[in-house]
Homo-oligomer: A and B are copies of this chain.
Amino acid sequence: MSDFDLEQFLPYLLNQAAEAASLEFQQVYKDRYGMLRNEWRVLFHLGMFGEMTASDIGARAGLHKTKISRAVAKLEARRFLVRDRDGQDRRVEHLRLTAAGTAAYRDLQGVARRYDAELLSDFQPTDVARLKQQLGALAQRRGHTPLR
């Protein structure tokens, strides 16, 4: 019929791998904290970098502002973060984790560490480094030649 191999097509392969690799971790943040993907991402950004604005997070995570807005609202409702209106520019709000938010972050961060190690336990350390470096390069990429 055709000698094209879908499973060797990078976007497909990456999606399958990403989905499989996310599954167990998703189970944890969902079951344990009722969080959604964008919520743990925001939590992690604040946990890692401390105080940030919604725009900062959006720029760094490549997330649209509406996603951030909703994730922040949820995390605020769960008392995992608080907002501080900026004194100079009153459009801006500085976000930071509460004690409860920090505790959740630390918990999930530990899970993430262990999970990452387990996911890669069958790979050589040198392969892990190369793999992550290559994925980083792909993630970086912004559209080059338009497709015909």
Contacts and interface: CB of A to CB of B under 8 A. Distances in A.
Contacts of A137: 122
Interface stretch (A40-48, A65-73, A76-84, A85-93): A40-48
A18 B7 contact: no
Interface in A105-135: 105-106, 109, 111-116, 118-120, 122-123, 127, 130-132, 134-135
Interface residues of A, number: 67
A interface SS class = helix
A20 interface: yes
B18 A147 contact: no
Nearest to A134: B131
B147 A4 contact: no
A21 B25 contact: no
